[in-house]
Amino acid sequence: MANIAVLGCGRIGKMHAANIAAHKQTTLAAVFDVYQPAAEEAGNLYGATVVSDVAEIFASPDIDGILIATATETHADYIEMAVKSGKPVLCEKPIDLDITRVNRCAEFIAGSNPIIQLGFNRRFDPGHRAARDAMRAGEIGDLHQVIISSRDPEMPPRSYLEAAGGLLRDMTIHDFDLARFMLDDEPVEVFAFANALIDPELCGELDEVDTAMILMRTADGKQCHINNSRTAVYGYDQRIELLGTQGMLLSGNRKPHEVKRFNAKESESAAPYLNFFIERYEQAFMAEISAFVNCIEKGTTPEVGFEDGRKALVLAEAAYKSMVEGRMVRVEEIV
């Protein structure tokens, strides 16, 4: 059993706390939040020590690993504290909204060999992973095209948007990572369109967008398309399509159950898809914890680490540059 501390007890932190408490290989040892009542609530719910000084957690010999789910601007600091203390961390994405801060953090890390796992949970989804495994096993021959459809059920509240850092850094960041995961290679060219179609007024005030389409290409010509929307009323839409010379693989959406309805107006009608990431990626979040525990126990390098977090952000930066300049941007322009 690994003793895990959770930093940050907001929506995503509480979900992680619950998962760690329920996971067979982990104990929820401690929780922390700058807003103490949030930590207390989570601590009570899942039976964990509430810590008021985060430094205690980094110093404690009883903590085997730390999950960072605090506000984005604190991620890099906590990663650096973890590196100093030698504690393995599983850090929610993104590392930081500012690529220069991320690069400084990378420099800080350089030379040491810390366990830093990035919270790109979708890599652990059984469907996405089975699709990638089949592709890597040669089932579809040479990969040519990847299409990622990724749509949230609805617009987040204004307060969320104000802190999120923009659609491409907040939401598409997962898809940039999945694109790298599925392409099994680095995109070198990026083009992006994004604009406000769902809530132009709110987006206008926040200089934000809510609907996006992106194209990317690797050095050897493999093509990737990502589409995003903040509104999919039929449920959280998370699909990946891989086209190769010998076939295609689709990783699709899940429903709450397998009932189909038939009547005078329709046939085969199913329930809407699972509502959002907590439901859709439930298994992925648990598998992510398992992978983290495995790294802690064996001292191995995470499957998805700091550099993956940085590269996804670089793609977001390239996409923003493309949006502004109306042209294809080479990724090397950013790094």
Task: Tell me how many degrees the CA angle 20-24-25 measures, rounded to the nearest 5.
Answer: 75
Q: How far apart (Å, rounded) are the C-alpha atoms in residues 78 and 70?
A: 9
The half-sphere exposure of 41 on its side-chain side, counting CA atoms within 13 A, is: 13
Which residues inside 273-302 make contact with its own copies, applying CB under 8 A?
273
Q: How far apart (Å, rounded) are the C-alpha atoms in residues 266 and 320?
A: 42
Q: 180 vs 222, which CB is nearer to its own copies?
A: 222
Q: How far apart (Å, rounded) are the C-alpha atoms in residues 335 and 318?
A: 9
Map residue 331 onto helix, strand or coil.
Answer: helix
Does residue 151 bind its own copies (CB under 8 A)?
yes
Selected from 25, 27, 36, 231, the binder of its own copies by CB under 8 A is: 231
| Closest distance of CB 98 from its own copies, Å | 27
Task: Tell me how many degrees the CA angle 262-278-127 measures, rounded to the nearest 5.
Answer: 65
Extended strands (E) in 33-64? 49-50
Q: 106 vs 198, which CB is nearer to its own copies?
A: 198
Q: 22 vs 163, which CB is nearer to its own copies?
A: 22
Q: 82 vs 243, which CB is nearer to its own copies?
A: 243
Selected from 15, 25, 56, 193, the binder of its own copies by CB under 8 A is: 193
Selected from 75, 222, 310, 311, the binder of its own copies by CB under 8 A is: 222
Q: 37 vs 256, which CB is nearer to its own copies?
A: 256
Does residue 195 bind its own copies (CB under 8 A)?
yes
Which residues inside 233-272 make contact with its own copies, applying CB under 8 A?
233-235, 237, 241, 243, 245-272
Q: 96 vs 125, which CB is nearer to its own copies?
A: 125
Identify whether the C-beta of residue 76 lies closer than 8 Å to the C-beta of residue 105. yes
Which residues inside 16-45 make contact with its own copies, applying CB under 8 A?
22
Q: How far apart (Å, rounded) are the C-alpha atoms in residues 77 and 297?
A: 24
Q: 61 vs 262, which CB is nearer to its own copies?
A: 262
Q: Which stretch binds its own copies (CB under 8 A): 28-36, 65-73, 172-180, 214-222?
A: 214-222
Q: Which stretch binds its own copies (CB under 8 A): 68-76, 104-112, 177-185, 224-232?
A: 224-232
Residues 6+ apart with CB under 8 A from 334: 99, 314, 317, 318, 321
Checking DSSP bridges between strand 187-195 and strand 237-244, what pairing results, if any?
A: unpaired
| Closest distance of CB 76 from its own copies, Å | 33
Map residue 299 onto helix, strand or coil.
Answer: coil
Which residues inside 121-150 make contact with its own copies, applying CB under 8 A?
125-127, 130-131, 134, 139-140, 142, 144-145, 147, 149
| Closest distance of CB 235 from its own copies, Å | 7
Q: How far apart (Å, rounded) are the C-alpha atoms in residues 182 and 172?
A: 15
Map residue 252 onto helix, strand or coil.
Answer: coil
